[in-house]
Structure 1
Amino acid sequence: MAPALAQAAAGLARGARRSKAAATGSWLSQGLGRARGGLAQGQQPSSIWAAAQSAPRWHSTASTSSVNPDEVSHFNALAADWWNPHGSSRLLHLMNPLRHDFINACLASQPDPASPPRRYLDIGCGGGIFAESAARLPSTEHVTAIDPTPSVLAVARAHARRDPALAPKLLYRRSSIEDLPVPPPDRAFDVVSLFEVIEHVDRPAAFLDRVRPFVRPGGWLVMSTIARTWTSWFTTNLVAEDILGIVPKGTHDWNKYINEDELRRFFADKGWSHPRVMGVVYVPGLGWKEVRGSEKVGNYFFAVRRDE
């Protein structure tokens, strides 16, 4: 392991030991979203699943929606800069190769890996960084990419039009998962992705239940998110947003982060199996690197396979 990675891993291990007690079953109150916010007096922490169920609803044609209007407004403001590899989405560009590595590891782990061509559904596709790269793979039949954010989706479509070869393999739709028609079983997707999505939605439990019929039996639901710990608040909210400014302010709400063990419990006995996880750390100058154990304190990938 390179010295920088070794130091990062050691630091994360120390952070995991310090934050484990606070992160298991209790955490900061709703009032601590940022360093300047402080603790809300007299307020007790509550489960992210319960908190999400009480969040304000976003009006849509569906009876309920996971879409948060504040999140839509925030990402609309970032749309123009989305494809700048040195801009506000720089960390997403750097993370994209690891997304493919994780998906490939999931597919290779099953005894009967799906044979190409594969069909993808990218939920919360943003400006299309992952969707475009997936559509370019020779093993891909088609990518359907959805997002409720109009300005961001316009950027995704405009960028894809630069390459006519993408047209038959990539379709962008402005939609939430609640408004997307469920496909017939024989047209469900081999891979459904939620990259940097689950920590931005309202009602995450209902959202994940809604996603299930879009994954074919034997297919994979893959996602990336952030653990809810003191370490992640310090790195993603205080340092990345407030001090260094490498992530736009307001991108992350620490109260909506979700721990790996919460996801494992949620998917248990619901027709999913073979959970996989990969912790990743951003190392300045080196980019995102896999660091074992870091899923307990910060960014991580998570996947489950739908039972046959």
Structure 2
Amino acid sequence: MATKTAKSAPTSPSRSVNPEEVANFSALAETWWDPNGPFRPLHKMNPVRLEFIKGSLCRHFGRDVTATDALKGLRILDIGCGGGLLCEPLTRLGATMVGADASEKNILTARAHAEQTGLEIDYRYITAEELADAGETFDAILNMEVIEHVADIPSFLDACHRLLKDGGCMTLSTINRSAKAWLVAIAGAEYILRWLPVGTHDWQKFLKPSELSRSLRDSGFKTSDIKGMVYSPLSGAWSLDAHDFSVNYVALAEKA
């Protein structure tokens, strides 16, 4: 049975939460687990996201990446967890997952799906700042496709730093602020292919890898790895690339 903790709403305004962004994702909450719905791009991207997360955490914590319970004993926070697309597979790898989201509808969807699959996942309708203020700590944090939607990046990353145990690490993924990213992620995905609702992304909020690294450094992190995530229109699959960061990319940050 899925854990049903954290019933209450966020108790105070968070500097990092953008109400318009929360409303956009709340409107789509019931479609999180539809592989052909608005979150189809994330379903397609999920295998390569999991490849990076699992590989990075196993290297950082000295785990056997081939083990079926490779993440056993690690307490991991998925901040901006949405419907739980990452929480569920990582729970199956042995991690103790806490999924947090500023959208109550997302949390309700995530809890319902975990209930159906029989997974124990602690989903909470709460912000990163509130978790940090409550003294919560984690071995690792997932910050995937979130930072381009927050209102105050320094406040958000400072909260993540407080949430991470000494020696911990955080994985991040976002979109580069490049001309190609505008063509692919906005013009292509939103207007032409209609993979995403129009207005899902704001090109001005995208971060270049150098900007992300600088923001992480300012909040007390050290960026130890960055890789591109590249989509192949021919195969319809995503892959990691050590050199192409022109659109989507992932990073590993360690608590300095």
One-letter amino acid of the counterpart of residue 160, structure 2: V
Alignment of 1:296-307 (within 5 A): 297-307=246-256
Q: 2:83 aligns with which of 124, 127, 130?
A: 127
Distance 1:183 1:73 in 2: 25
Q: 1:162 aligns with which of 116, 121, 131?
A: 116
**Contact residue 62 and residue 178 of structure 1 kept, 8 A:** no
Alignment of 1:97-246 (within 5 A): 97-110=47-60, 113=62, 116-138=72-94, 140=95, 142-164=96-118, 166-167=119-120, 170-182=121-133, 188-246=137-195
Distance 2:14 2:41 in 1: 31
* Aligned position for 1:19: none
Superposition deviation, residue 228 in structure 1:
0.3
Residue 93 of structure 1 pairs with residue 43 of structure 2: yes
Give per-residue Cα distances to partners, 1:187-223, cap 9 Å, x unaligned: 6212101111000110112111111011111111111
Superposition deviation, residue 132 in structure 1:
1.2
Deviates more, 1:72-81 or 1:282-291: 282-291
Say which SS state the counterpart of residue 131 (structure 2) adopts.
coil
**Contact residue 175 and residue 249 of structure 2 kept, 8 A:** yes
**Contact residue 53 and residue 171 of structure 2 kept, 8 A:** yes
Distance 2:159 2:203 in 1: 24
Distance 1:221 1:94 in 2: 22
Give per-residue Cα distances to partners, 1:12-34, cap 9 Å, x unaligned: xxxxxxxxxxxxxxxxxxxxxxx
* Aligned position for 1:15: none
TM-score (norm 2): 0.86
Compared CA separation, residues 94 and 268, structure 1 to 2 (3 A): same
Distance 2:157 2:194 in 1: 31
Distance 1:240 1:63 in 2: 32
- Structure 1: gaps of 5 or more residues: 1-59
Say which SS state the counterpart of residue 129 (structure 1) adopts.
coil
Distance 1:270 1:243 in 2: 38
Give per-residue Cα distances to partners, 1:152-202, cap 9 Å, x unaligned: 2211111111123x12xx111101112224465xx6212101111000110
Superposition deviation, residue 288 in structure 1:
1.0
One-letter amino acid of the counterpart of residue 195, structure 2: I
* Aligned position for 2:24: 74
One-letter amino acid of the counterpart of residue 155, structure 1: T
Say which SS state the counterpart of residue 130 (structure 2) adopts.
coil
**Contact residue 25 and residue 103 of structure 2 kept, 8 A:** yes
Superposition deviation, residue 269 in structure 1:
6.3
Superposition deviation, residue 103 in structure 1:
2.0
Superposition deviation, residue 116 in structure 1:
3.6
Superposition deviation, residue 63 in structure 1:
5.9
Superposition deviation, residue 270 in structure 1:
4.8
One-letter amino acid of the counterpart of residue 23, structure 2: S
Distance 2:83 2:158 in 1: 25
* Aligned position for 1:293: 243
**Contact residue 191 and residue 220 of structure 1 kept, 8 A:** yes
Superposition deviation, residue 85 in structure 1:
1.1
TM-score (norm 1): 0.72
Distance 1:147 1:270 in 2: 21
Superposition deviation, residue 64 in structure 1:
4.1
**Contact residue 175 and residue 206 of structure 2 kept, 8 A:** yes
Structure with higher Rg: it is 1
Distance 2:219 2:32 in 1: 36
**Contact residue 66 and residue 203 of structure 1 kept, 8 A:** yes
Q: CA RMSD in A?
A: 2.0
Compared CA separation, residues 152 and 137, structure 1 to 2 (3 A): same
How many residue pairs match? The answer is: 239
- Structure 2: gaps of 5 or more residues: 1-9, 64-70
**Contact residue 111 and residue 123 of structure 2 kept, 8 A:** yes
Distance 2:48 2:184 in 1: 20
Superposition deviation, residue 236 in structure 1:
0.9
